[in-house]
Chain A
Amino acid sequence: MANEPRKPPLQLVARLRRALGGQAGWSGVVVQILFVALVVWVGYEIVDNARANLQTQRIASGFGFMSNTAGFAVSQALIPFTESDSYARVFVVGLLNTLLVSIVGIVIATIIGVLVALGRLSPNWLLARIAGGYVELIRNLPLLFQILFWYLAVLATLPSPRQSISLFGTVFLSNRGLIVPDPVPQQPFGVFVVAIAIGIVASLAMRAYARRQLFVAGEKLTIWPFVLAMLIGLPALAIAMFGAPVTFDMPQLRGFNFVGGAKVLPEFAALTIALSTYTAAFIAEIVRAGLQSVPKGQMEAGASLGLSRGETLRLVIIPQAMRVILPPLTNQYLNLTKNSSLAVAIGYPDLFSVFAGTALSQTGQAVEIIALTMGVYLLISLVTSAIMSFYGWRLNRSLAA
């Protein structure tokens, strides 16, 4: 494996220049100028045409509508939201809901995907077959079908709130969602957070020290008992000294539904389950291909150095496999984020549903709203791939070192 050093990303300008006719001399420059002029002109024509058409139909344009009152309710909002808030706030609420489902989905999909890939590579015949069956079944069924399956065939069959499944009378599961006690921060909450922060910082420092010792003195330190003690002990001490940091708002069944408590909507659950299991099937194949791309000799080399199987995987195999895994994995993360817009079918209030759906049909500002929505999805995708490229760049640098 040649480890040629990779340059950091963000060479967009240079790459663009090469793509536009990178030959030296005047002909290259002329072509580039012509091309840019063409792009600008076509863009101008599109905007001008749209504006003229909107004007003849007397459709108001501009982003002024964003400050108008929306006047409708949204079933899940991460920030306080009422009917009298503006369309701008609807936009933020929808965006946060999209981000929430994407991030949770990505984390779960990655965990399932890696486990399935390892299962598929496992020498255990049964485990390998089950993992293989999972991949083949899940990735060959349409995603919308899977979302509707989880929503209508699984979660909707849960009992109604009055007959809900209850755990010690504090956690309730029904077809209205999962209702848990809602933690309300109290006075000592700040101290509690500080205690956790100190624990994390101290653990990181200890890890850095242990690594240094390993490289400098070749001495292997066992630090996990100390880390554990600090991460659990410090917050426990804080609670013992200052009292409970939170009290719980308990859900109670009153009338139609539960009052109080925090709620996980079935729409959110169905969407997250479907998106993460679906994407996990693809991630599993990517991870499997990545691991198999590392020559067998590397495993043997690790063993001959006296590393355990786990250490060989963690220190030798996975870093090399990551180079193959990262680009297609980034695509899967982007797909998951974009696929979250299928939420509209089951009434989860994501950006596409509440902003490009409800807000659009109530204001009629199709051009502005679609442009804004497109821009947001583009931005999310670019940020995701930038994070992944940065990770890939760092990984390559450490491999080359």
Chain B
Amino acid sequence: MKRVSLALISIVSAFAVQSALAQTQDKPKDRGTLQGVKDRGTLSCGVSQGLPGFSAPDDKGNWTGLDVDVCRALAAAIFNDPSKVKFVPLSAKDRFTALQSGEIDVLSRNSTWTLSRDTSLGLNYTGISYYDGQGFMIRKSLKVNSALELNGASICVQTGTTNEQNTSDYFKGNNMKYELIAFGTADETLKAYESGRCDVFTSDVSQLYAERLKVAAPNDHAVLPEVISKEPLGPVVRHGDDQWFDIVKWTLFAMINAEEYAITQKNVDEMAKSSKPELKRMFGTDGNLGEQLGLTKDWVTRIIKATGNYGESFDRNVGAGSKLNIARGLNKLWNQGGLQYAPPIR
């Protein structure tokens, strides 16, 4: 008799599990990511495990960086409060699984846009927040001036990145031998490089500059001039929720458009009173573009107040106003000779 009741209990509990499963399965479909975020009260945002300039916690534990600003802008647009973000640090190899499984709402973590990631992973890239390319860092004492002199070198790389495959392509294409040692996280990779396990550390150039700040004597290391790949980085969302896709996409576009119209954190209130038609559309004093997105009319004002425009964020985090001091380069606006170009808000 004891066994029978045990079996009954397991059947009942299995039913409970099943109905719970059915509920979680239906939730995102029925209510959408935006509603889920609103209900929860915070945005869950996947970032790197600490890449200065892009996403890293400061000494007080506040996350800052270019990728972090995208999350803050989103939270500002949704909650009018840029602090309502939970940052989830992810390694390169875990990031997409975390997004697919719904652990995070958006992935803003220097991730390269490729066709296979955009299609077979069940993901959508929302735009390009940083135009990057892969490079090589090496000790100056080895007296190497070009990546083409790297025949036979040991190369440290972070596993699960496009860098792994690019390196293979580049060395094979140039008929050079190499030894590739892949590590789980950026920190482990850097440590191995520093200890002399590898001659070369390869990653996206922006990341090389950021990691170089972490080594004992940054000036003993140089980044070689060759950029061997295109690495367009940008925020990523899951397939299957078009409204959320639009919101993330247009949050980034709003930041880029704001720079184009010279709307800054300081002058945003003043500009909001402007009578120029394009500014009236952006600030929601004409039409309801923000509401069409599922946000409020003043969504651009909220975003710019929180993070500033794209140029301000770039300067503060990775550009001239930061320790990294990376030149704007390709990331200049389209009308200043760069590639940053956002579709119009109208």
Contacts and interface: CB of A to CB of B under 8 A. Distances in A.
Contact of A73 (B96, B178, B197): B178
Contact of A358 (B4, B10, B93, B97): B93
A38 B17 CA distance: 13
B182 interface: yes
Contacts of A267: 181
Contacts of A42: 14, 17-18
A52 B122 contact: no
Interface in B269-315: none
B21 A156 contact: no
Contact of A34 (B11, B142, B239, B240): B11
A165 to B, nearest CB: 14
Which secondary structure dominates chain A's binding surface? helix
A269 interface: no
Interface string B85-102: 000000011111100100
Interface in A52-105: 52-54, 56-60, 71-75, 83
A390 interface: no
B121 interface: yes
B181 A38 contact: no
Nearest to B161: A361
B32 interface: no
A301 interface: no
Given A49-B25, A353-B184, A357-B160, A175 B97 contact: no
A75 B181 contact: yes
A358 B100 CA distance: 17
Nearest to A348: B181
Interface stretch (A237-245, A254-262, A325-333): A254-262
Nearest to B194: A156
Given A58-B122, A360-B160, A156 B196 contact: yes
Contact of B188 (A58, A75, A346, A363): A346
Contact of A83 (B93, B168, B188, B189): B168
A75 B182 contact: yes
Contacts of A38: 7, 10-11, 14
A364 B96 contact: yes
A354 to B, nearest CB: 8
A175 B181 CA distance: 13
Interface in B1-52: 3-4, 7, 10-11, 14, 17-18, 21, 25, 29
B122 A21 contact: no
Interface in B132-168: 142, 150-154, 156, 159-161, 164-165, 167-168
Contact of B122 (A34, A57, A354, A358): A57
A345 interface: yes
Contacts of B169: 71, 83
B240 A35 contact: no
B221 interface: no
A361 B92 contact: yes
A389 interface: no
A83 B167 CA distance: 10
B153 A256 contact: yes
A266 interface: yes
A349 B172 CA distance: 20
Contact of B195 (A57, A83, A152, A360): A152
Contacts of B240: 56-58
A38 B14 CA distance: 8
Contacts of A219: none
Given A21-B3, A347-B188, A364-B122, A59 B179 contact: no
Given A27-B4, A175-B197, A347-B188, A361 B159 contact: yes
A344 B179 contact: no
Contact of A255 (B14, B100, B152, B196): B152
Contacts of A58: 122, 239-240
A72 B168 contact: yes
B205 to A, nearest CB: 20
Contacts of A31: 3-4, 7
B238 interface: yes
B117 interface: yes
A64 to B, nearest CB: 11
Nearest to B198: A176
B168 A361 contact: no
A42 B20 CA distance: 13
Contacts of B168: 71-73, 83
A357 B197 contact: no
A72 B153 CA distance: 16
Nearest to B139: A160
B71 interface: no
Given A83-B168, A156-B195, A266-B197, A256 B154 contact: yes
B6 to A, nearest CB: 8
B191 interface: yes
A353 B159 contact: yes
A259 B96 contact: no
A300 interface: no
Contacts of B179: 73, 75, 176, 257
Contacts of A363: 116, 120
Given A34-B7, A57-B239, A344-B184, A358 B153 contact: no
A147 to B, nearest CB: 11
A256 B199 contact: yes
Interface string B184-207: 100011011001110100000000
A227 B92 CA distance: 57
Nearest to A344: B184
A75 to B, nearest CB: 5
B180 interface: yes
Nearest to B94: A361
B25 A52 contact: yes
19 contacts: A27-B4, A42-B17, A49-B21, A49-B25, A52-B25, A71-B165, A72-B165, A72-B182, A176-B179, A344-B159, A344-B184, A346-B183, A347-B189, A357-B182, A358-B93, A361-B159, A363-B120, A364-B97, A364-B122
Interface of B: 3-4, 7, 10-11, 14, 17-18, 21, 25, 29, 92-97, 100, 116-117, 120-122, 142, 150-154, 156, 159-161, 164-165, 167-169, 172, 178-184, 188-189, 191-192, 195-197, 199, 238-240
Given A72-B167, A83-B168, A366-B97, 19 more contacts: A23-B3, A34-B7, A35-B10, A45-B21, A57-B100, A57-B240, A72-B164, A72-B168, A75-B181, A156-B197, A176-B179, A255-B153, A256-B151, A344-B184, A347-B182, A347-B188, A353-B159, A358-B182, A361-B161
